[in-house]
Amino acid sequence: MRYIGLMSGTSLDGVDGVLIDIDDGGALKLRGHRHEAFVASLRDELLALNSPGGDELHRAAVAAQGVAHAYASVVNALLFDSGTVARDVRATGAHGQTVRHRPDAGYSAQLLDGALLAELTGIDVVCDLRSRDVAAGGQGAPLAPGFHAAVFGHAEDTRAVLNLGGISNLTLLAPGRAVTGFDCGPANALLDGWCQRHLRQPFDDDGRWAASGQVHAPLLAALLAEPYFDLPPPKSTGRDLFNMSWLDARVAGVAAVDVQATLAALTVESVARDLERHAPQTAALFVCGGGARNAHLMRGFAQRLPRMRIGTTDELGVPVDQVEGAAFAWLAHRFIQRLPGNLAEATGARGPRLLGALYPGQ
């Protein structure tokens, strides 16, 4: 069966769409990938909606339509490029744009007008994938570990999968043990934000700007003093905590380039500490997400974790920018099969749950 997965993460860079085939045995074949950036006005509004502001109900409803249009554009491109017609796609798994992640308050809010996406594409839309896990007492995140286990798990090797999106998250795959995963801390959300402010570029290409600065040890220590880093899993986070105001409250007196170097070091150090604490036996770390394209970060992991083999998911057959999209296609498949999508060990939910809500395409 053919599925589409659509992800737009906390980096707010745009939408990654993946077309995959899943056979009866659960084996996956990647059939297409498309990335489209958000238009600047939608991106700015989605970023603004991450913080409290006026007229939120109306603005959120309009932005949710904007997300549906952006998603539909990716779906139509995937169909066109692969010569697929809508009726041949069983369902689209669509994440939506997180604007508040508050499992502590009983919700995680993703903006997406699922009815409009179904109307625009004629394909069943499975969305709102986090709420049921939160309703069952979970964090609603991370949801990728089940997919990571299905495609990256190994019978003998202890592996970890590290997604470097706006936030970093780890999945721990140890043979014979329950699969777990959690958010480590900030990654591209702050690296991009600082770079946009000081270089007027969307991101620090290859981490070159960060590489040209010096890590500011007192700042790194101050950032690492954030209590989130020491919370035991299950745990998840987002722009609710790790945003530019969080950074601004701590950077006084440090040169901009050194802040960028320190943010890169923070990304590496927070993940490395989590691996040492929770999975010291890990033999290989496979990185995915846009941060895997940041050579400075990848060098940082290799230096900080010399005994670990550091690679990317490209080596395991799933290109780094397709993993999260494919995970949401897989989650749509789980929903259609009426199988649970969450791993209670990772999210902290009371048990496995069927994730998602359906907007029929026809």
Residue 321 binds to Mg ion (criterion: CB under 5 A): no
Residue 293 binding: pick among Mg ion, ligand ATP, none (C-beta 5-8 Å cut-off by kind): ligand ATP
- Relative orientation angle of helices 145-152 and 323-336, to the nearest 10 degrees: 100
- Kindly tell me which of 131 and 168 has the beta carbon lying closer to ligand ATP: 168
- Kindly tell me which of 112 and 361 has the beta carbon lying closer to ligand ATP: 112
Residue 294 binding: pick among Mg ion, ligand ATP, none (C-beta 5-8 Å cut-off by kind): ligand ATP
Residue 9 binds to Mg ion (criterion: CB under 5 A): yes
Residue 21 binding: pick among Mg ion, ligand ATP, none (C-beta 5-8 Å cut-off by kind): none
**Burial, 54: exposed, middle or buried (Cβ in 10 Å; 0-12, 13-18, 19+)?**
exposed
Footprint of ligand ATP (CB under 6 A): 7, 9-11, 13, 16, 163, 165-166, 188, 191-192, 203-207, 289-291, 293-294, 324
Q: What SS3 state is found at 182? A: strand
Q: Residue 189 CB, nearest distance to ligand ATP (Å)?
A: 7
Residue with tokens 């570990």: 145
**String marking each residue 78-117 x if it binds Mg ion according to CB under 5 A:** ----------------------------------------
Q: How many CB atoms lie within 10 A of CB 125?
A: 31
- Kindly tell me which of 13 and 128 has the beta carbon lying closer to ligand ATP: 13
For the chain, how long is the longest CA-to-CA vector? 58
Query: Taking the CA of residue 106 as centre, how many other CA atoms within 13 Å lie in the half-sphere pointing to its CB?
Result: 1
Q: Residue 1 CB, nearest distance to ligand ATP (Å)?
A: 23
**CA-based nearest residue to 209, from 217, 200, 221:** 200
Q: Residue 232 CB, nearest distance to Mg ion (Å)?
A: 28
**CA-based nearest residue to 290, from 188, 183, 153, 182:** 188
Q: Residue 7 CB, nearest distance to ligand ATP (Å)?
A: 5
Residue 168 binding: pick among Mg ion, ligand ATP, none (C-beta 5-8 Å cut-off by kind): none
Q: Residue 14 CB, nearest distance to ligand ATP (Å)?
A: 7
Which two three-digit tokens encode residue 69?
Answer: 């249009």
- Kindly tell me which of 346 and 361 has the beta carbon lying closer to ligand ATP: 346
Give the dihedral sign, CA 65/166/335/182: negative
Q: How far apart are alpha carbons 240 and 247 in whole angstroms?
A: 12
- Kindly tell me which of 108 and 163 has the beta carbon lying closer to ligand ATP: 163
From the centroid of its chain, how far is CA 232?
20
Radius of gyration of the chain measured on its C-alpha atoms: 19
Residue 270 binding: pick among ligand ATP, Mg ion, none (C-beta 5-8 Å cut-off by kind): none
- Nearby residues of 295 by Cβ (< 8 Å), 6 or more positions away: 206, 207
Q: Residue 141 CB, nearest distance to ligand ATP (Å)?
A: 10
20 - beta bridge partners? Answer: 3, 30
Q: Are 46 and 57 in contact (CB under 8 A)?
A: no
Q: Residue 303 CB, nearest distance to Mg ion (Å)?
A: 26
Residue 274 binding: pick among Mg ion, ligand ATP, none (C-beta 5-8 Å cut-off by kind): none
DSSP 239-297: TTTSSHHHHHTT-TT--HHHHHHHHHHHHHHHHHHHHHHH-TT--EEEEESGGGG-HHH
Q: Residue 10 CB, nearest distance to Mg ion (Å)?
A: 8
Residue 188 binding: pick among ligand ATP, Mg ion, none (C-beta 5-8 Å cut-off by kind): ligand ATP
- Kindly tell me which of 226 and 324 has the beta carbon lying closer to Mg ion: 324
Residue with tokens 């990848």: 298
Residue 193 binds to Mg ion (criterion: CB under 5 A): no
Give the binding range for Mg ion (CB under 5 A) out of 4-12, 48-56, 133-141, 192-200. Answer: 4-12
Residue 13 binds to Mg ion (criterion: CB under 5 A): yes
Is the link from the previous residue into 340 a cis peptide, with omega within 30 of 0?
no
> Site residues (CB under 5 A) for Mg ion?
9, 11, 13
